[in-house]
Structure 1
């Protein structure tokens, strides 16, 4: 049943794929220099609002480092050392730290929690009322028609919701932080040059997984292998894109530039392997783009153009992907014993 549920999700999203392409394109128009979707703190409603309906999900979140960072990060000696090197007086207030380690809210972008619901699913002010409307006043979730559910999902995504079915936008949001696209933070602050072992499947399906909706809250459902195949490939494509963007912004040949170049080369070669194992025109386009620019300093225009082409290929693939045709990538898709932590029950 779980596998069928995931397959249904892909099928349902394909029906209105043009709507998703438009939504994704709109998000890209609001991209920052690192390629990520802009986060508007003024539109954050806070996790308490989500908890009104998603108690199980909130419970799972509270068992993760994403939640715990609110109480722990500013106390860590290594974090304090980085903040001092970056001339940041308060980790919870300094612009460099709060963008990825906390959830910001309001016009003053004040940190209100660790990495929370809207950090990953997008600020909800514009889409939460759509998300909560099951077909009019008095209509419950159980009474909602299939057609209305599709429309509700499409409209919420169009209003800025990052839903698991828009897998590229979700991946983009993750890599916007986990690649640490900030040269000064790495070379001056001494921050690690990205999460070296960050990979979309293993990091999203472990302790941070919170798939309770499809089981009515009874259990934290595992994703189908078909879905995980698509997630894995989209993750590799997005990692390639972000690594290219990272080296494009490098100005000196230090740790940041070297790390980004190494990561980009590793990812584009792996993407080439994937295309050889499971040939796909979108993979081929991404590979061609990734190898079209030299991984060197003072090559920003070519590297950014290459990253944009990889992005376009990833978006196109994610929108029409069929995981049942990607069995050849199973040898790379992480298994449960490789996940980052254990999912909540």
Structure 2
């Protein structure tokens, strides 16, 4: 059984292939310490005790938050145990990077050699194979963003209209990825937790806006009644296309941005318009895939004035240090 909302944009995780965060922390100790200071980690213990969460669960007919897939999809890492899905942690490594069973040994195996003796060609082949097995690495920005927005834009109408859940977070990929969830320590061997480069932030900003638009379009397409969900998702789409229009003006050397805006206006934000809204979302998706493959951010300097500054980052990034 795969949990998640792949049809709506997120990359579904398969509990049968989840290895759990402990399998990752054996090597990624500094990254794990950064994770332990995040809301992603704390949700495992805190959410079941949260009054608002339990009120929402009650309205949805959920008796136990940790045993109902409605909540498990976005708030926990779920592993198959004794033929039953069991939450083993909060939002963790595999929530972002994909279920690890098929790639975890491969990605860190140095082609059967050591880091120093593995050739460049062998390394490239190893990463290509890991990608093919479902690993989502940082360079796969579009896929990573889809995972983020797949939950931060709530993917279920009843959960909002009936349960009273927020329709989504005030989320943007730069502010949230550069705050408490930042764990950019691998290449410094744990000596530093550096922020994304200017070029990387430009890509985060642009791809994030595009995925916000795509996810919102798909959500409006699935809405069935005039209610909070439909209205909030339409508002998200309208806001995203306005921001993208500003980005298109700021970076005219990237024609794909203007084309995304065109797709965004090609379908009315209304009920019973799923074929046209889905077609618009699919068009945005193809453009985002192209942008991710074609650009590295170095030529997108026009976007710099639009990107959130550090005072907008959500939470504080952990400084690497001694691990107890």
Aligned-residue CA RMSD in angstroms? 1.3
Secondary structure of 1:53's counterpart equals coil
Give 2:86's aligned residue.
Answer: 110
Deviation string, structure 1 residues 79-128 (Cα, Å, up to 9, x no partner) = 01000000001101111101000001114221111001101111000111
Secondary structure of 2:110's counterpart equals coil
Tell me the CA shift for residue 276 of structure 1.
1.5
Give 2:99's aligned residue.
Answer: 123
How many angstroms apart in 1 are the aligned matches of 2:201 and 2:117? 30
Question: Which region of structure 1 is more displaced relative to structure 2, 308-317 or 274-283?
Answer: 274-283
Give 2:122's aligned residue.
Answer: 148
Give 1:310's aligned residue.
Answer: 284
Secondary structure of 1:331's counterpart equals helix
How many angstroms apart in 2 are the aligned matches of 1:32 and 1:224? 30
Deviation string, structure 1 residues 137-172 (Cα, Å, up to 9, x no partner) = xx2223333332222222211110111100000000
Give 2:322's aligned residue.
Answer: none
Give 1:52's aligned residue.
Answer: 26
Question: Which region of structure 1 is more displaced relative to structure 2, 277-286 or 143-152?
Answer: 143-152
Match of 2:150 among 176, 180, 187: 176
TM-score computed with the length of structure 1 as normaliser:
0.88
Match of 1:255 among 210, 214, 228: 228
Secondary structure of 2:67's counterpart equals coil
How many angstroms apart in 1 are the aligned matches of 2:98 and 2:60? 28
How many angstroms apart in 2 are the aligned matches of 1:276 and 1:84? 47
Secondary structure of 2:306's counterpart equals coil
Match of 1:211 among 174, 184, 187: 184
Q: How does 1:177-326 map to 2 (within 5 A)?
A: 177-195=151-169, 197-279=170-252, 280-326=254-300
How many angstroms apart in 1 are the aligned matches of 2:257 and 2:128? 26
Secondary structure of 2:88's counterpart equals strand
Alignment length (residue pairs):
313
Conserved in 1, the CA contact under 8 Å of 2:141 and 2:292? Answer: yes
Secondary structure of 1:284's counterpart equals helix
How many angstroms apart in 1 are the aligned matches of 2:116 and 2:228? 54
How many angstroms apart in 2 are the aligned matches of 1:317 and 1:201? 17
Conserved in 2, the CA contact under 8 Å of 1:214 and 1:221? Answer: no
Secondary structure of 1:186's counterpart equals helix
Secondary structure of 1:112's counterpart equals strand
How many angstroms apart in 1 are the aligned matches of 2:117 and 2:174? 33
How many angstroms apart in 2 are the aligned matches of 1:74 and 1:161? 30
Tell me the CA shift for residue 130 of structure 1.
1.4
Question: Which region of structure 1 is more displaced relative to structure 2, 237-246 or 148-157?
Answer: 148-157
Instruction: Note the residue ranges of structure 1 that are not aligned, 5 or more in a row.
Output: 1-29
Deviation string, structure 1 residues 30-58 (Cα, Å, up to 9, x no partner) = 97331222211110001111011011111
How many angstroms apart in 1 are the aligned matches of 2:78 and 2:219? 24
Conserved in 1, the CA contact under 8 Å of 2:99 and 2:134? Answer: yes
How many angstroms apart in 2 are the aligned matches of 1:310 and 1:67? 32
Give 1:16's aligned residue.
Answer: none
Q: How does 1:31-42 map to 2 (within 5 A)?
A: 32-42=6-16
Secondary structure of 1:104's counterpart equals strand
Instruction: Note the residue ranges of structure 2 that are not aligned, 5 or more in a row.
Output: 320-324
Quickly say closer, same or farther: Cα 1:142–1:338, change in 2 above 3 A.
farther
The answer to whether the aligner puts 1:98 opposite 2:72 as a matched pair is yes
How many angstroms apart in 2 are the aligned matches of 1:35 and 1:50? 25
